[in-house]
Amino acid sequence: MKYVDEYRDSAAAGKLVAEIRRQATRQWVLMEVCGGQTHNLLRHGIVDELRETVELIHGPGCPVCVTPAEAIDFAQQLALRENFVVTSFGDMLRVPGSRDSLLSVRGRGGRVKIVYSPLDAVEWARRNTDQQVVFLAVGFETTAPATALAVLQAEKLGLENFSLIVAHVRVQPAMEALMNSPDNRVQGFLAAGHVCAITGFKTYDQFVRDFRVPVVVTGFEPIDLLEGILECVRQLESGRAEVVNRYARAVRRAGNQSAQQVVARVYEIDDRPWRGFGSVPQGGFRLRTEYERFDAQQRFGRGPTLQLPVMSGDGCRAADVLAGRLRPTACPEFGTRCTPDFPLGAPMVSSEGACAAYYRYS
């Protein structure tokens, strides 16, 4: 299959591994930002194959994992209110908030509905005007265009029973927070290719100047990942720090400007809390003033707080895993009290979570 088979070619992968080893005079510490990259690095054995040459630290790029517990808690509160239905992508249902998950709230009678697109939630609101339909809007710059379109569609339809819990986050500010952290060890980044497909990568020019680290826009197939690693190693060995696009079949320097425009029309950049990071300056989006009537927090955030049972997530080191300070297998709960069937934390729940990746592939 074109654009797939050639990026999984084992002979080509072997040559890239050999070249990375030949170039490296020491072990370098790189971070792959995206959880999808983490899964493929483990699935294809690249982490182990290059262990002596490159230490790969797994980044915070799992949108489900970094969604703050408060957003999930609020969704649970609304799901239990009369005439409310909370809509969400399916992978959010098992993610623990500070006390519980949406799935268990649904088991106790909460109204939680899985949708495949924010526009499905708008359509549900159009057909059920007796319900307040709230969409849990999570994800990076990749999903923000779709929720912005949903807001515009709800406005066009004149819906007064549709709103969002806005928990969208932006990747680059989290990378800046990592670099500013006193215990940072990252020397180069594999930037998330699908995010850059929307945002482009010209904003990394300043990042590279500020922090003197290579940033290589990288895809998800084994050859993509190895080419990204090789580019980082080459730069580090020659003392360079540049932005390079190694995912040219999907990413342009300016990104997808139509998507950027729809996001900019509906959202503005704001400081946002990230699970594992705390408040990240300019780390997410909020609805612009003219769309605040679609903000569930503004409309319904002052209602009575219901008591939810405390979740047994004690001992979860998700914050350290998400900030790259702890390898999942070093968590004392990994594979014992915490498994994909009985997860204690979001990184074991999500299909992009680092703990789930290690459980599945290591």
Q: Does 74 bind ligand SF4 (CB under 6 A)?
A: no
Among 338, 350, 352, 357, binds ligand SF4 (CB under 6 A): 338
Gap between the Cα atoms of 287 and 265, Å rounded: 9
CB of 320 to ligand SF4, least distance (A): 7
Nearest alpha carbon to residue 85 among 65, 113, 58: 113
63 or 328: whose CB is closer to ligand SF4?
328
Nearest alpha carbon to residue 72 among 39, 38, 110: 110
CB of 359 to ligand SF4, least distance (A): 8
Q: Which amino acid is at 170?
A: R
Nearest alpha carbon to residue 193 among 105, 284, 256, 261: 256
Q: Does 57 bind ligand SF4 (CB under 6 A)?
A: no
CB of 182 to ligand SF4, least distance (A): 22
16 or 357: whose CB is closer to ligand SF4?
357
Residues whose CB is less than 8 angstroms from the CB of residue 105 and which lie 6 or more positions away in sequence, other chains included:
76, 79, 80, 112, 308
Ramachandran category for residue 255: left, alpha or beta (phi over 0 → left; psi -120 to 50 → alpha): left
Q: Which residues 181-220 are close enough to bind ligand SF4 by CB under 6 A?
A: none
Cα–Cα distances in angstroms (integers) from residue 175 to residues 237, 244, 277, in the given order: 22, 17, 11
| Distance from chain centroid for Cα 178 | 15
Q: Does 355 bind ligand SF4 (CB under 6 A)?
A: yes
Q: Does 151 bind ligand SF4 (CB under 6 A)?
A: no
CB of 343 to ligand SF4, least distance (A): 6
For residues 297 to 336, the per-residue mask of contacts with ligand SF4, x marking binding by CB under 6 A and - elsewhere, is: ------------------xxxx--x------x--x-xx--
145 or 347: whose CB is closer to ligand SF4?
347
42 or 348: whose CB is closer to ligand SF4?
348
CB of 312 to ligand SF4, least distance (A): 11
Cα–Cα distances in angstroms (integers) from residue 288 to residues 140, 291, 292, in the given order: 18, 5, 6
E-strand ranges in the chain read 28-34, 54-61, 84-88, 112-114, 132-139, 162-168, 188-192, 215-218, 243-245, 267-274, 278-287
Residue 29 is given by DSSP the state E
Gap between the Cα atoms of 93 and 115, Å rounded: 11
A 10 A CB-CB count for 229 gives: 30
Q: Does 228 bind ligand SF4 (CB under 6 A)?
A: no
Gap between the Cα atoms of 343 and 331, Å rounded: 13
Q: Does 42 bind ligand SF4 (CB under 6 A)?
A: no
58 or 246: whose CB is closer to ligand SF4?
58
Q: Does 95 bind ligand SF4 (CB under 6 A)?
A: no
175 or 344: whose CB is closer to ligand SF4?
344
Q: Does 60 bind ligand SF4 (CB under 6 A)?
A: no
Gap between the Cα atoms of 14 and 229, Å rounded: 13
Q: Does 345 bind ligand SF4 (CB under 6 A)?
A: yes
CB of 72 to ligand SF4, least distance (A): 15
CB of 89 to ligand SF4, least distance (A): 19
**Residue numbers of the site for ligand SF4 (CB under 6 A)?**
315-318, 321, 328, 331, 333-334, 338, 343-345, 347-348, 355
